[in-house]
């Protein structure tokens, strides 16, 4: 009995020992699992390299950093992941680490199999195996973000000590930091400026409205720039170009404002000269078409107030081309200058004389009779007086030249007319005078209304074109130097049920003249966004960007920024895939407003291209202020690129300028291989034109993209 009890006790003790053993085993397994998890999923990669620098062991994090399956990495040389430029550094580091104990660090550019190169930090430790073989234990980290942050800090430090004055204020406008250039420009040392507000150096030349508008723009867009007068510590006042940028925290609250400014006083005379070039004809010093439109608008407003008629005289020198051909362009220029002088001598002081271009001049007469017939008689008398003055012999560098003139006259009354329509009427009348034998005068006759009626019918049809679904977008492909399609320009087309395909040259100017360009342009924008959304679902087209042309009138609409944002949101398209094309005329019309609108859209990721670059009046000082991504070389310069040295020089200059300013440059109107080769020689990397493809409907464009991809 006692023996049985002893056996039972012994049995219980054995079971307790087995339970303890199992618990110990489970604890060991859990500890091992924790170790494996810690090793495999550590925040850094761990790997072991043999003396031959082959990978003999690596954790999952390390395999992920290198972008390969772990089994494919074993026995692979680590140097195969090192970029060529860092190979020598790696071999030197590896040899040094094997010869020394202790931690050795190194930074390299490594290659991920799918995502390209990244900056890597290596911590290496020399160890030996149980049989005495040397190995290298390596911990591997992706330090790309850190390197970028360091680079940005270096750039920021250099930028802060630039030649422009810089101030940093808190949200209340109190200065917390200035750079050395600030002290040089204003004379105020840092210790005197810090703790004050920018009123310290205010010249007092700006009114309350200026400061209110500036504050409003800064609040709405987070950015303002413009001219401002600054008073230095010794009382000197100078003109400065100033920018103010809001610095925001993660939740959007403003933490600081950063302002930069530079002295632009020396540029004032240059800007005045640029203005003269923008608004006056370089040869005759008469107002050009731009200023003429402004003068006509003022004349229309004056006619409305006084109830008096005015008149547009459109005159053209007869047989001017023959004189140019027989006597030379120098003689022709002298005749144009003399014509301008005689015109100004035979009109009243308040009347306007302008040169449209070539041998075409316009005279705007104001303050005629309130009776239409009397006003017509007065206009005829002035025109005849001018015609007789211009018909007198002219001495051009020792040569006596006679030249007659043909006149067209259009009366205006009130402000219901448009400047462009009045010029068109007078132009039509002038051609009637040419047809009648030249050296005569014709009024805009009701018989000419037939052509205008046709224009009116076209305008009425255009008003219905959007709602009737007659408008289309065609797409002209844009290519890189490998002839790969990188994007497209959306071009408006009108398929009329009776007229057929109406040429853009007919209906787009009509749309601009009548204001229809605003709804038509909005349709083009929303349709382009919808097309981008459709293309985003196809691999061949999902990365393409679409450039959309925007007119001056559409761009100046108060709701334009909101409309663009809404169109992208409704189509669920990435803003970076939209590129807005603006002409130089749009940009310089109101530079401050233009920049504010562009920056508001740029902040949303939308790109900007300047169309027809080189044909307008934008200066380099304006260009560098604009948040542009791209400039387009106008086809007028590309057309004779291969044969005209002047055009070649202009194109090369534009390409070089774009590279210096960090802008993409694309050439439009490329039609021949010779043009393409010259563009490639000049470093232009993007092109569009009929050499590659004509504008195509969406389906045909998609076929083109697939064909170009398939041929690569």
pLDDT in tens, 420-443: 889 999 998 998 888 888 888 888
| Average pLDDT over every residue of 152-170 | 75
Indicate the Cα dihedral angle 374, 380, 385, 388, nearest 10°.
-160
Partnered with residue 140 across adjacent β-strands are: 45, 122
In whole angstroms, what is the distance from residue 455 CA to residue 279 CA?
30
pLDDT at 449: 42
Give, as one character, the DSSP assignment of residue 481: T
CB 604 within 8 A of CB 529: no
Q: What is the pLDDT of residue 585?
A: 74
Average pLDDT rounded to a whole number, residues 591-604: 91
In the predicted model, is pLDDT for residue 115 greater than 80?
no
Answer whether residue 644 shows pLDDT above 50: yes
H or E stretch at 275: helix 268-279
Alpha-carbon span 92 to 100, nearest angstrom: 13
Which H or E element spans position 365? Answer: strand 360-365
Strand-strand pairing, 607-613 and 630-633: parallel
49's tokens: 């390299």
Cβ atoms < 10 Å from Cβ of 135: 17
Nearest of 187, 150, 195 to residue 168 by alpha carbon: 195
Q: Which among 443, 439, 447, 457 is positioned nearest to 375, based on CA atoms?
A: 443
pLDDT tier at 520 (50, 70, 90 boundaries)?
very high
Token couple for 104: 């050795």
Residue 361, pLDDT score: 96
Instruction: Tell whether the torsion through CA atoms of 659, 664, 670 and 674 is positive or negative.
Output: positive
| pLDDT mean over 376-393 | 90
Within 10 angstroms of residue 612's Cβ, the number of other Cβ atoms is 19
Tell me what the pLDDT averaged over the chain comes to.
86
* Best CA proximity match to 476, nearest among 667, 662, 652, 654: 667
High-pLDDT (> 90) share of the chain, %: 43
Report CA dihedral (342, 345, 351, 354) to the nearest 10 degrees: 30
Average pLDDT over residues 79-96: 91
Instruction: Identify which of 259, 230, 93 has the alpha carbon closest to the alpha carbon of residue 165.
Output: 259
The pLDDT value given to residue 652: 92
pLDDT at 1: 58
How far lies 70's CA from each of 77, 141, 342, in Å? Answer: 13, 17, 90
How far apart are alpha carbons 181 and 179 in whole angstroms?
Answer: 6
Contact 522, 579 (CB under 8 A): no
For residues 310 and 413, give the distance between their C-alpha atoms in angstroms, rounded to a whole number: 6
157 class by beta-carbon count within 10 Å (0-12 exposed, 13-18 middle, 19+ buried): exposed
Q: Given a cut of 80, is residue 271 above it in pLDDT?
A: no
- The pLDDT-based confidence of 24 (bands split at 50, 70, 90) is low
pLDDT tens profile 329-381: 888 889 999 999 999 999 988 899 999 988 999 999 999 999 887 888 888 88
Cβ neighbours, 10 Å, residue 307: 9
Q: What average pLDDT score do residues 655-683 get?
A: 92
399-414: average pLDDT = 88
Q: How confident is the model at residue 9, as a pLDDT?
A: 66
Whether 281 and 355 have beta carbons less than 8 Å apart is answered as yes
Q: Are 687 and 670 in contact (CB under 8 A)?
A: yes
Segment 531-537 mean pLDDT? 93
Residue-level pLDDT at 8: 66
Q: Which residues pair with 687 in a beta bridge?
A: 479, 667
CB contact at 8 A, 262 and 254: no
Going by pLDDT thresholds of 50, 70 and 90, the confidence category of residue 452 is very low
Span 76-94, mean pLDDT?
91
Q: What percent of the chain clears pLDDT 70, i.e. is strictly above it? A: 89
Residue 103 has which token pair? 């931690």
pLDDT, position 37: 59
Cβ atoms of 663 and 610 within 8 Å: the answer is no
Percent helix, percent strand, percent coil in the chain, to nearest 5: 50, 25, 25
Cβ–Cβ contacts within 10 Å for residue 109, how many? 18
Question: Which residues, listed in sequence order, are joined to residue 241 by a DSSP beta bridge?
Answer: 227, 262
Q: Which of 32-46, 103-117, 200-214, 249-263 is the least confident region?
A: 32-46
Does residue 208 carry a pLDDT above 90?
A: no
Please tell me the distance from the alpha carbon of residue 538 to that of residue 655, in angstroms, as a whole number.
Answer: 33
- Give burial (CB, 10 Å; 0-12/13-18/19+) of 175: buried
């Amino acid at each position: 009995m006692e023996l049985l009890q002893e056996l039972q006790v012994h049995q219980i003790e054995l079971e307790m020992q087995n339970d303890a053993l199992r618990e110990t085993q489970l604890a060991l397994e859990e500890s091992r699992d924790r170790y494996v998890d810690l090793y495999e999923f550590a925040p850094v990669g761990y790997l072991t390299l043999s003396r031959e620098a082959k990978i003999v062991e690596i954790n999952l994090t390390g395999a992920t950093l290198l972008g390969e399956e772990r089994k494919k990495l074993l026995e692979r040389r680590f140097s195969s992941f090192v970029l060529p430029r860092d190979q020598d550094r790696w071999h030197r580091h590896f040899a040094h680490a094997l010869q020394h104990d202790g931690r050795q660090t190194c930074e390299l550019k490594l290659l991920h199999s799918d995502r390209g190169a990244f900056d890597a930090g290596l911590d290496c430790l020399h160890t030996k195996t149980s049989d005495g073989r040397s190995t290298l234990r390596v911990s591997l980290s992706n330090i790309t973000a850190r390197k970028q942050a360091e680079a940005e800090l270096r750039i920021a430090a250099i930028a802060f000590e630039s030649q422009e004055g810089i101030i940093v204020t808190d949200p209340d406008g109190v200065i917390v930091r200035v750079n050395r250039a600030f002290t040089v420009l204003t004379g105020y040392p840092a210790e005197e400026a810090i703790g004050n507000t920018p009123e310290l150096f205010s010249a007092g030349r700006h009114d309350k409205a200026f400061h209110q508008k500036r504050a409003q723009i800064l609040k709405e867009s987070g950015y303002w720039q413009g001219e401002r007068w600054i008073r230095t510590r010794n009382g000197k006042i100078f003109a400065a170009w100033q920018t103010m940028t809001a610095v925001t925290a993660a939740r959007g609250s403003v933490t600081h404002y950063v302002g930069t400014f530079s002295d632009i006083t020396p540029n004032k005379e240059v800007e005045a000269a640029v203005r003269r070039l923008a608004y006056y004809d370089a040869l005759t010093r008469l107002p050009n078409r731009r200023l003429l439109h402004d003068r006509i608008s003022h004349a229309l407003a004056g006619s409305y107030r006084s109830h008096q008629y005015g008149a547009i005289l459109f005159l053209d020198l007869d047989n001017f081309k023959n004189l140019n051909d027989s006597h030379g362009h120098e003689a022709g220029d002298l005749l144009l200058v003399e014509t301008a002088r005689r015109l100004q001598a035979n009109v009243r002081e308040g009347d306007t004389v302008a040169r449209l271009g070539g041998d075409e001049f316009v005279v705007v007469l104001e303050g005629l009779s309130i009776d239409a017939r009397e006003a017509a008689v007065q206009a005829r008398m002035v025109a005849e007086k001018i015609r007789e003055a211009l018909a007198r012999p002219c001495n051009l560098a020792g040569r006596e030249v006679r030249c007659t003139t043909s006149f067209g006259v259009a009366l205006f009354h009130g402000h219901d007319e448009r400047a462009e329509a009045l010029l068109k009427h007078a132009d039509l009348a002038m051609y009637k005078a040419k047809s009648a034998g030249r050296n005569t005068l014709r009024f805009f006759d009701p018989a000419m209304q037939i052509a205008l009626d046709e224009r009116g019918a076209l305008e009425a049809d255009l008003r219905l074109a959007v709602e009737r679904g007659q408008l289309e977008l065609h797409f002209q492909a844009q290519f890189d130097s490998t002839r790969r399609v990188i994007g497209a320009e959306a071009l408006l087309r009108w398929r009329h049920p009776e007229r057929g395909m109406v040429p853009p040259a007919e209906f787009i100017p009509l749309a601009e003249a009548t204001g229809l360009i605003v709804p038509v342009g909005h349709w083009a924008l929303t349709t382009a966004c919808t097309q981008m959304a459709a293309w985003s679902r196809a691999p061949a087209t999902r990365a393409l960007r679409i450039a959309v042309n925007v007119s001056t009138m559409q761009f100046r609409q108060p709701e334009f920024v909101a409309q663009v944002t809404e169109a992208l949101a409704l189509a669920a398209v990435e803003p970076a895939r939209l590129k807005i094309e603006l002409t130089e005329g749009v940009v310089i019309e109101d530079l401050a407003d233009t920049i504010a609108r562009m920056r508001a859209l740029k902040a949303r990721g939308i790109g900007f291209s300047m169309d027809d670059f080189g044909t307008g009046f934008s200066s380099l000082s304006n260009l560098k202020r604009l948040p542009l991504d791209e400039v387009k070389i106008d086809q007028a310069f590309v057309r004779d690129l291969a044969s005209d040295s002047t055009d070649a020089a202009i194109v090369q200059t534009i390409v070089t300028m774009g590279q210096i300013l960090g802008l993409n440059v694309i050439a439009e109107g490329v039609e021949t291989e010779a043009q393409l080769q010259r563009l490639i020689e000049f470093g232009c990397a993007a092109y569009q034109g009929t050499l590659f493809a004509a504008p195509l409907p969406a389906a045909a464009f998609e076929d083109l993209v697939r064909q170009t991809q398939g041929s690569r």
